[in-house]
Amino acid sequence: MREKVKKEIELLVSRKILVPVDEPTDWVSQMVVVKKTNGNLRICIDPQHLNNVLKQERYKLPTLEDILPQLKNAKIFSKLEIKEAYWHIRLDEYSSLLTTMITPFGQFRWAQLPFGLNVSGEIFQKQLAQALERLDGCINVADDIVKAGCRNSIEEAERDHDTKLKKLHQR
């Protein structure tokens, strides 16, 4: 297990998701290793103490009541999963240093938004909602994007869906 953890950390460093830390930092959290269902490992931060002092984003996450009216005439759907969703959001230097964690292989800070922070979901949702603004029939739910085709007939809805999907990919 130790060797697998080391390789995963090295991979995250090579992808610039984790950055080695040599200098002292104000915050250091523990590392948590989660075994995924496919057998791979996910390196996470255990930010229990940090979460107690982080300022909440206060972004209202969409509820079913928010989403359903947008889908009332929808006939065709696509669900797009955003792989490693939070890691698409870069942290500024100050925030990154707050996410320093200790591992058996040294200290590392997250350059991208990590899983485990109590603000990660709200930050991601807000960023994704901004990216999807003015894209009709495009709804973000957690780390997924739901694309809906709406029209009277299935054929028209399919054309509408495909047009909207192309616009999403162009963005």
Q: Which positions ≥6 away from 23 have C-beta within 8 Å?
A: none
pLDDT > 70 fraction of the chain, expressed in percent and rounded: 99
- Which alpha helices (DSSP H) does 16-151 contain, by range? 48-51, 64-67, 93-98, 120-131
Provide the CATH number for the domain around residue 44.
Answer: 3.10.10.10
Give pLDDT tens digits for 46-58.
988 999 988 887 7
Scanning the structure block, which residue is given the tokens 């960023």?
Answer: 127
Domain that holds residue 87: 2-170
66 backbone dihedrals φ, ψ, rounded to 5°: -75, -35
CA gap 14, 99 in Å, rounded: 18
Scanning the structure block, which residue is given the tokens 């931060």?
Answer: 45
Total number of domains in the chain: 1
- pTM equals 0.79
Position 161 scores a pLDDT of 84
Q: How far apart are the first and last CA of the chain?
A: 40
| Averaged pLDDT, 156-169 | 82
Give pLDDT tens digits for 72-129.
778 888 888 888 889 999 999 999 999 999 999 999 999 999 988 989 988 988 888 8
